[in-house]
Amino acid sequence: MTVTYQYPRPNLAVDCVVFGLDEADLKILLIQRGLPPFEGKWALPGGFVQMDETLEEAAKRELKEETGIQDLYLEQLYTFGAIGRDPRERVVSVAYYALVNLRDHKLMAATDARDAAWFSTDDLPPLAFDHSEIAGIALKRLKGKVVYEPIGFELLPMKFTLTQLQQMYEKILDRPIDKRNFRKKILGMDLLQELDEVQVDVSHRAARLYKFDEKKYRKLRQRGFVFEI
Partner DNA sequence: TGACAAAGTGTTCAAAATACACTAACATAG
Partner DNA sequence: CTATGTTAGTGTATTTTGAACACTTTGTCA
**Min separation Cβ 168 and DNA, Å:** 13
Residue 206 DSSP class: P
Residues forming a β-bridge with 29: 118
Residue from 3, 24, 200, 226 touching a second copy (CB under 8 A): that is 3
Find out whether 137 and 77 touch, Cβ atoms under 8 Å: yes
Residue (82 or 108) nearer to a second copy, CB: 82
Find out whether 69 and 100 touch, Cβ atoms under 8 Å: yes
Considering only residues 77 to 96 of the shown chain, the ones binding a second copy according to CB under 8 A are: 78-79, 81-83, 90, 92, 94
Residue (75 or 213) nearer to DNA, CB: 213
Considering only residues 107 to 166 of the shown chain, the ones binding DNA according to CB under 7 A are: 161-163
When asked if residue 196 is in the footprint of DNA (CB under 7 A), the reply is: no
Cα 208 to the center of its chain, rounded Å: 27
Size of the site for a second copy (CB under 8 A): 29
Cα 128 to the center of its chain, rounded Å: 19
Q: Where are the beta strands (DSSP E) in 22-157?
A: 26-33, 42-43, 46-48, 73-80, 91-99, 113-120
Return the number of other C-beta atoms located less than 10 Å from residue 44's C-beta.
29
How far is residue 210's CA from residue 192's CA, in Å, rounded to a whole number?
6
Binding-site partner at residue 55 among DNA, a second copy, none, CB < 5 to 8 Å by type: a second copy
Considering only residues 44 to 63 of the shown chain, the ones binding a second copy according to CB under 8 A are: 48-49, 51-56
Task: Reply yes or no: is the peptide bond before residue 176 cis, omega within 30 of 0.
Answer: no
Amino acid at 87: P
Residue (80 or 118) nearer to a second copy, CB: 80
Three-state secondary structure call for residue 209: strand
How far is residue 27's CA from residue 121's CA, in Å, rounded to a whole number?
5
Considering only residues 41 to 80 of the shown chain, the ones binding DNA according to CB under 7 A are: none
Ramachandran quadrant class, 111 (left: phi over 0; alpha: psi -120 to 50; beta: rest): left
Residue (151 or 207) nearer to DNA, CB: 207
Binding-site partner at residue 184 among DNA, a second copy, none, CB < 5 to 8 Å by type: DNA
Binding-site partner at residue 106 among a second copy, DNA, none, CB < 5 to 8 Å by type: none
Among 81-89, 104-112, 195-203, 213-221, the segment contacting DNA (CB under 7 A): 195-203
Q: Using CB under 8 A, list all residues that contact a second copy.
A: 1-12, 48-49, 51-56, 76, 78-79, 81-83, 90, 92, 94
Q: Using CB under 7 A, list all residues that contact DNA.
A: 161-163, 178-181, 183-185, 198, 202-208, 228
